[in-house]
Structure 1
Amino acid sequence: MSSNKHRSKKVILIISILLAIIFLAPFYLVLTNSFKTQQGIFLNVMRLPFGDFFNPQNYIEAFKQLNYIRSFLNSLFITVFSTIIIIIFSSMAAWMLVRTKTKLSTFLFFLFTSAMLIPFQSVMLPLVNIMGRLGLLNPIGLIFMYLGFGSSLSIILYHGFVKNIPIELEEAATIDGCSPIQIFLYIIFPLLKPITVTVSILNVMWIWNDFLLPQLVINKPQWHTIPLKMFYFFGQYSRRWDLALAGLVISMIPIITFYFIVQKHIIKGITQGSIK
């Protein structure tokens, strides 16, 4: 029995190593070739960037051509404010849906749940048409749209967490003279910290990496986010793979860094929300 378990562990380890190699291979190709000259990429894609083929100037040139600082600040502004607004509205909505025991609250919750089944592509053209008539084809309108598309999942996560918060805490606060806003701000919202971290992470990674919605909404170069800038950058430098790959690496650095810092909170928060 022990030999079978030992053999199965070896098989699992080998499979895990093979899968890791498969998933990491694209990152290896992008990273190594981003340091090569154009000639070095064409001669040998797999080779490490040594000797005459090593060219770190790719990053300096890509940084300038991407207008990286401006693009980074645009992405940061849209991501941070969209996430904050989603957290505020979703947490308050989930709290009221849990505490209000009516048929309307049940209907609204299932309405938010069913909204996740609607493909974005089926509503994007009418949505952009309406936002254009309202004069909201700009970062502010984009933040407003992210609130609409990101609220469903966030409300579901908050809804499962709020259920386990004892209602007696709110009743005691009401007796002490707290208003509903005070109860939410000083009692409920601090208890939602674990799931708020998870909601923040999921929305930050989604909004930061999103390309389709900014492409439809943002029509001025000075408002371009990093994914949108990379799209036009690849179009402009499609034949300069050395610059294009270097631009791709520096565009991935912020979100990869963010992910490694907060990855431990993702599964923890989702698990707590499902148990609650």
Structure 2
Amino acid sequence: MKKKNKICTAIVSIILAILFISPFYLVLVNSFKTQKGIFSDVIGLPGESFTLNNYVEAFKHLDFIKSFTNSLLITVFSVVIIIIFTSMAAWMLVRTKSKVSTFIFLMFSASMLIPFQAVMLPLVAMAGKIHLLNPVGLVFMYLGFGTSLSVILYHGFIKSIPKEIEEAAAIDGCNKFQTFWIIVFPLLKPTTVTVSILNSMWIWNDFLLPQLVINRPEWQTIPLKMFYFFGEYSKRWNLALAGLVIAMIPIVVFYLAMQKYIIKGIVQGSVK
């Protein structure tokens, strides 16, 4: 019976793996074909239609260096600000045991249930009035939307840190600011890595918020460039698919390099 269950599980796993991998396979394989090669054989390998010119043209038309720099700067500044504010907020919520702190934490948790679409129009209208429809405003918006999950992750981990460590630091003459950044924050490294990875992947791939906020071509991120690129080259699938592969490479490399920290950090933050 156990053997049959293992066989069934293996078959289901293989089928699911094929379903998930097949879109990536089609995009990658067809990105190396000519337009004629794609329409003649979508599933097969490039063969005689193999070409690298698709990537050269897509790289140029995407203005990849500029859009990559925009995405990188927005992502890095957003993640750094999220880490700074949410780690301090979670620490104060844990150490300040009162009904107010409990209520604030519940508000952070409840805000995760509110969909972005419910607030995007008032948010953009307000941002336009105070002249924040630019990358700086986008960073502050990411701070607001990324706070809830980050606070929850930090909150769970900080509860495992003995309060005696902080009391010893206070006896040695540390103020609250020094206690947190010198004593507590280094202990939060596993959760900090997890928070940075999850927020980096979300911000890097985000399309809707940058489309609403960024109104100049020179500020466009990679997802925005890809949107307009597909609009321009939707009939030239060889260039469009090559551009899609170029856009995916940075975040795929980042995820593969950091994936072992994601589950580790989440488990530590939730269990402890």
Q: TM-score, normalised by structure 2?
A: 0.99
Give CA-to-partner distance per residue, 1:191-240, whole Å, 9 cap, x none. 00001110011000000000000000000000000001000000000100
Are 2:13 and 1:16 equivalent residues in the alignment?
A: yes
Equivalent residue number for residue 49 of structure 1: 46
> C-alpha separation between the residues in 2 aligned to 1:264 and 1:151?
23
Query: For residues 54-133 of structure 1, what are the structure 2 equivalents within 5 Å?
Result: 54-133=50-129
SS at 2:25 equivalent: helix
* CA-CA distance at 1:7 after TM superposition: 2.4
What corresponds to 2:236 in structure 1? Answer: 240
Secondary structure of 1:269's match? helix
Which 5+ residue runs of structure 2 have no aligned equivalent? none
- After superposition, the C-alpha distances for 1:100-126 in whole angstroms (9 at most, x for unaligned) are 011111111111111111111011011
Which consecutive aligned stretches of 4+ in structure 1 deviate over 3 angstroms post-superposition? Answer: none
Match of 2:263 in 1: 267
Aligned-partner residue type, residue 80 of structure 1 = V
Instruction: Indicate the residue corresponding to 1:252 in structure 2.
Output: 248
Q: Percent of pairs identical after alignment?
A: 69
Counterpart-to-counterpart distance in 2, 1:187 and 1:268? 22
- For residues 42 and 123 of structure 2, the distance between their equivalents in structure 1, rounded to whole angstroms, comes to 43
Q: 1:30 is matched with which residue?
A: 27
Structure 2 matches for 1:161-240, cutoff 5 A?
161-240=157-236
Q: Secondary structure at the match of 1:73?
A: helix
Q: Deviations over 1:63-98 (max 9, x none)?
A: 000000000000000001100000000000000000
Residue type of the alignment partner of 2:64:
Y
RMSD, aligned CA: 0.7
Superposed displacement of residue 19, structure 1:
1.0
Q: Distance in 2 between matches of 1:136 and 1:57?
A: 39
Structure 2 distance, partners of 1:112, 1:223, is 31
Number of positions where the alignment pairs a residue of Structure 1 with one of Structure 2: 272
CA shift for structure 1 position 54: 1.3
In the alignment, the residues of structure 2 paired with residue 126 and residue 8 of structure 1 have an alpha-carbon distance, to the nearest angstrom, of 52
User: Which consecutive unaligned segments of at least 5 residues does structure 1 have?
Assistant: none
Matched, 1:158 2:154: yes
Instruction: Give, as a single letter, the amino acid of the residue that structure 2 aligns with 1:10.
Output: I
Amino acid aligned to 1:232:
Y
Aligned mates of 1:82, 1:119 — CA distance in 2: 20
